[in-house]
């Protein structure tokens, strides 16, 4: 088994792959991400999303180079009717349309979408169901924010 690991490791190092975050905090991607400011996003979902994006982008510089504009679509729909015609399951879907704008030129550098969804059990306690819906929103926000930042990082890496 050891004889297979060494040749595979050598082949992998020759394939041209390089770490996205090479250089750590001073690297091209980290520097690019910290030069992105996030526009205000309306609503509770917007506050959660902006907070999650700012956490992942790092501390914004005093003079940002890019602006990230995000529009959210949050849907909560009932699924799975029970025998007494009540809803037994819900699905929460969070979709984001986002644009990365170069502030110097006004040019849209990236225009894309990201989304995720989660299933929620509807239980007899209304409080528990509302808490589950809120937790789903918080988790979906983190997941979508991660996808947005990854997409922005890939774009900034190829742009530099």
pLDDT at 136 over 50: yes
| Whole-number Å distance between alpha carbons of 139 and 146 | 11
| Spans of all domains in the chain | 22-159
Confidence of residue 139 (pLDDT cuts 50, 70, 90): very high
| 32-62: pLDDT as tens digits | 788 899 999 999 999 999 999 999 998 666 7
Burial 45-71 (b: 16+ CB within 10 A, else e): bbebbbebbbebbeeeeeeebbebebe
pLDDT tens digits along 8-22: 665 655 555 455 454
Q: CA-to-CA distance for 116 and 100, rounded, in angstroms?
A: 20
pLDDT of residue 32: 76
| CATH superfamily of domain region 22-159 | Lipoprotein like domain (3.30.160.150)
88 falls in which pLDDT band (50, 70, 90)? Answer: confident
Tell me if the pTM is above 0.85.
no
pLDDT of residue 16: 55
Q: How far apart are the first and last CA of the chain?
A: 40
pLDDT at 121: 86
């Amino acid at each position: 088994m050891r004889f297979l690991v060494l040749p595979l490791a050598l082949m992998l190092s020759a394939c041209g792959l390089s770490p996205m975050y090479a250089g750590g905090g001073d690297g091209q991607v980290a520097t690019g991400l910290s030069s992105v400011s996030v526009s205000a996003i309306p609503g509770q979902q917007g506050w959660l999303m902006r907070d999650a994006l700012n956490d992942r982008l790092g501390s914004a510089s005093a003079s940002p180079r890019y602006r990230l504009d995000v529009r959210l679509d949050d849907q909560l729909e009932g699924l799975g009717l029970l025998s007494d015609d009540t809803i037994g399951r819900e699905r929460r879907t969070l979709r984001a349309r986002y644009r990365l704008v170069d502030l110097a030129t006004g040019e849209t550098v990236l225009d894309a979408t990201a989304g995720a969804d989660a299933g929620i059990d509807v239980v007899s306690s209304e409080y528990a169901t509302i808490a589950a819906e809120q937790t789903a929103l918080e988790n979906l926000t983190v997941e979508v924010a991660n996808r947005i930042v990854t997409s922005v990082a890939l774009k900034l890496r190829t742009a530099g």
